[in-house]
């Protein structure tokens, strides 16, 4: 099983008038709507639960698309034996992924991150979390601006993807993106490369959500693709917090946190996988974290 949280855009042009605004909310139905399997949604006040059984998983999507900002969800993952489960969403698109790979009882959860740019992914990193994500809610965030994409867990950065267009490396900054999350059966690959299958005797598997926050530049409908980025960048008197100089890179404290996370919890990095990549991917040569 897998539970996923991602920002994704499938194709570039949107038609109509672009509305520009900042959105921030903690209510699911103000920001999101069910995408599929509505009978697998459980609402308990401010709490949303997604159910996976041997009939179906479930997923939801944001009502709007966004360019630059920060998205946060508080999630409590499936307890017990969740091997084989995973959640995520899926030709020329940009995408930032959090994917939580199910475990067998007593083993740590793995969180996998990935970055797709212009339809090209294969940038997986995996790490063990430093807490049990099934015992309580924890916040998972993606910060996105012109200079970097930062993945954060409880406000601790676990990965940075830096804009290196000056090196000829594409960076996702010109297409508005939707926010998606889902739970689905991924026992063909999620746990130990697919060796451990979903044990349906433990079903239904429940992932719980609350604290939905999107503080970003909203693009409910859009103008031409080449004008989108200008609408969500600071210029003149128009200022956005994600364009402030302090957001162009990690703070010293955040940099120390990232070094600690990678030293103690990183278990896989595509940059060091010489079997998959005999020639190191070009962006890996320039990332220093």
Q: Is 95 an annotated catalytic residue? A: yes
H or E stretch at 216: strand 205-218
What are the CA-CA distances from residue 156 to residues 17, 74, 150 (Å)?
37, 14, 10
Strand partners, 214: 71
Domains for the chain: give ranges and CATH numbers.
Answer: 28-279 (2.60.120.200)
Name the one residue in this structure whose structure tokens are 């867990």: 153
Tell me how far apart the alpha carbons of residues 235 and 267 are, in angstroms, rounded to a whole number. 41
Tell me how far apart the alpha carbons of residues 264 and 74 are, in angstroms, rounded to a whole number. 23
pLDDT of residue 10: 30
Tell me how far apart the alpha carbons of residues 137 and 146 are, in angstroms, rounded to a whole number. 30
User: Which of 44, 46, 79, 95 is labelled catalytic?
Assistant: 95
Average pLDDT over residues 104-122: 79
Does pLDDT of 84 surpass 50? no
pLDDT of residue 197: 59
How do residues 237-278 score in pLDDT, each as one tens digit? Answer: 788 898 899 999 999 999 999 999 999 999 999 999 999 999
Average pLDDT over residues 41-68: 88
| 125-128 and 138-144 strand pairing | unpaired
How do residues 144-162 score in pLDDT, each as one tens digit? Answer: 999 999 999 999 999 999 9
Query: Taking all residues of the chain, what is their mean pLDDT, rounded to a whole number?
Result: 78
Name the one residue in this structure whose structure tokens are 């009978």: 39
User: Which of 99, 107, 165, 244 is labelled catalytic?
Assistant: 99
In the chain, pLDDT over 70 holds for what percent of residues? Answer: 75
pLDDT of residue 8: 43
Tell me how far apart the alpha carbons of residues 85 and 45 are, in angstroms, rounded to a whole number. 26
Does pLDDT of 66 surpass 90? no
Does pLDDT of 70 surpass 70? yes
pLDDT of residue 92: 59
How do residues 9-32 score in pLDDT, each as one tens digit? Answer: 332 222 222 233 455 556 888 888
């Amino acid at each position: 099983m897998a539970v996923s949280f991602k920002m994704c855009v499938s194709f570039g042009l949107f038609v109509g008038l672009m509305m520009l605004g900042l959105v921030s909310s903690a209510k699911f139905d103000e920001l999101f709507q069910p995408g599929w399997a509505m009978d697998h949604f459980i609402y308990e006040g401010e709490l949303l639960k997604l159910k996976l059984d041997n009939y179906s998983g479930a997923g939801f999507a944001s009502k709007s698309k966004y360019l630059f900002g920060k998205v946060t969800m508080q999630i409590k993952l499936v307890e017990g034996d969740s091997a084989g489960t995973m959640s995520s969403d899926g030709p020329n698109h940009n995408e930032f992924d959090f994917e939580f790979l199910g475990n067998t009882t007593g083993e740590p959860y793995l969180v996998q991150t990935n970055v797709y740019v212009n339809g090209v992914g294969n940038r997986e990193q995996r790490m063990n979390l430093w807490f049990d994500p099934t015992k309580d809610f924890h916040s998972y965030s993606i910060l996105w601006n012109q200079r970097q994409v930062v993945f954060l867990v409880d406000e601790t950065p676990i990965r940075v993807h830096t804009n290196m267009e000056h090196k000829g490396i594409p960076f996702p900054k010109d297409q508005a993106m939707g926010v998606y999350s889902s739970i689905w059966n991924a026992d063909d690959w999620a746990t130990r490369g697919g060796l451990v299958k979903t044990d349906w005797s433990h079903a239904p598997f429940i992932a719980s959500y609350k604290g939905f926050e999107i503080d970003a530049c909203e693009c409910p409908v859009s103008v031409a693709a080449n004008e989108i980025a200008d609408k969500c960048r600071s210029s003149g008197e128009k200022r956005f917090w994600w364009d402030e100089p302090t957001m162009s890179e990690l703070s010293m404290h955040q940099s120390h946190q990232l070094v600690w996370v990678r030293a103690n919890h990183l278990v896989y990095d595509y940059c060091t996988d010489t079997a998959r990549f005999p020639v190191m991917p070009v962006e890996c040569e320039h990332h220093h974290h």
